[in-house]
Structure 1
Amino acid sequence: MAEAAMRETALREAEAACQRRGATLTPLRRQVLGLVLEAEAPVGAYALLDRLKMSRPGAAPPTVYRALDFLLEQGLIHKLERLNAYVGCTDAGHAEGHGHHHPHQFLICRRCGTTVEITDHGVAHAIEAAARRAGFAVASATVEIEGECARCASA
Structure 2
Amino acid sequence: MTIKELLTESEKYCADHGLRLTEPRQHVLQILLDADKPLGAYEILQELGAYIDNPKPPTAYRAIEFWQEHGFVHRIESLNAYTACSAGHSHSGSQYLVCELCKDVQEIHLCSVPPALAKAMQDKGFSMKFWNAEIHGLCANCSGGR
Aligned residue number for residue 92 of structure 1: 88
Other-structure match for 1:11:
7
Q: Determine if contact 2:94/2:110 at 8 Å carries over to the other structure.
A: yes
Q: Distance in 2 between matches of 1:141 and 1:125?
A: 14
**2:130 matches 1:132:** no
| Runs of 4 or more consecutive aligned structure 1 residues displaced over 4 Å after TM superposition | none
- The DSSP-based 3-state class of the residue aligned with 2:78 is coil
Alignment size in residue pairs: 144
Q: Alpha-carbon deviations, 1:30-74, whole Å to 9, x = none?
A: 110000111111111100001111221221110011001110111
C-alpha contact 2:92 2:131 (8 A) present in aligned 1? no
Q: Structure 1 pair 149/28, CA: closer, same or farther in 2 (3 Å)?
A: same
Q: Which runs of 5+ in 2 are unaligned?
A: none
**Counterpart-to-counterpart distance in 2, 1:18 and 1:109:** 33
**Once the two structures are aligned, what percentage of the paired residues are identical?**
36
SS of corresponding position for 1:92: coil
> Given the alignment, which residue of 49, 59, 62 partners 1:66?
62
Match of 1:29 among 25, 43, 65: 25
Q: Secondary structure at the match of 2:36?
A: coil
Find the partner of 2:105 among 88, 106, 115.
115
Q: Give the AA of the match of 2:53.
A: P
Question: Equivalent residue of 1:153, what SS?
Answer: coil
Tell me by how many angstroms 1:128 deviates: 3.6
Deviates more, 1:80-89 or 1:22-31: 22-31
8 Å contact from structure 1 (residues 104, 117) kept in 2: yes
